[in-house]
């Protein structure tokens, strides 16, 4: 997997979140990681670490929100212990993401 340019340190209060920019970036990253993983699942923190390696923890809630939006839209599956989570409730604890093949 390619590393993105991490020379700039991001801050969750920056304008990146304005106008859905971060949502678009995160959707693309989630779908791309799913494409690369094929049938394998991945953790939401892998997305945050990939895009924001220096400050990934600050963006975990953004990743989780985008994950749940994509899940509600039927674009991905979100599982906990191998079982899909409820679509209208943010899961607590570790989850895995799976992007279905087109």
pLDDT at 18: 57
Q: How far apart are CA 94 and CA 102, in angstroms?
A: 26
pLDDT at 46: 98
Q: Specify whether the CB–CB gap between 52 and 59 falls below 8 A.
A: yes
CATH number (2.40.30.20, 3.90.79.10, 1.10.10.10, 3.40.50.300) of 20-98 reads 1.10.10.10
Q: Specify whether the CB–CB gap between 65 and 73 falls below 8 A.
A: no
Cα dihedral value 100, 75, 91, 55, nearest 10: 90
pLDDT tens digit at each of 102 positions of the chain: 444 444 444 444 444 555 478 889 999 999 999 999 999 999 999 999 999 999 999 999 999 999 999 999 999 999 999 999 999 999 999 999 999 987
- Where do the structural domains in the chain lie, given as residue ranges? 20-98
């Amino acid at each position: 997997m390619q590393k993105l340019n991490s020379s700039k340190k991001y801050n969750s209060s920056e304008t990146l979140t304005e106008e859905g920019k971060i949502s678009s970036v995160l959707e693309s990253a989630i779908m791309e990681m799913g494409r690369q993983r094929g049938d394998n699942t991945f953790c939401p923190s892998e997305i945050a670490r990939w895009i924001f390696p220096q400050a990934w923890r600050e963006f975990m809630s953004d990743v989780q929100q985008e994950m749940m939006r994509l899940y509600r839209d039927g674009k991905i599956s979100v599982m906990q212990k191998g079982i899909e989570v409820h679509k209208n409730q943010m899961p607590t604890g570790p989850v895995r993401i799976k992007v279905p093949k087109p």
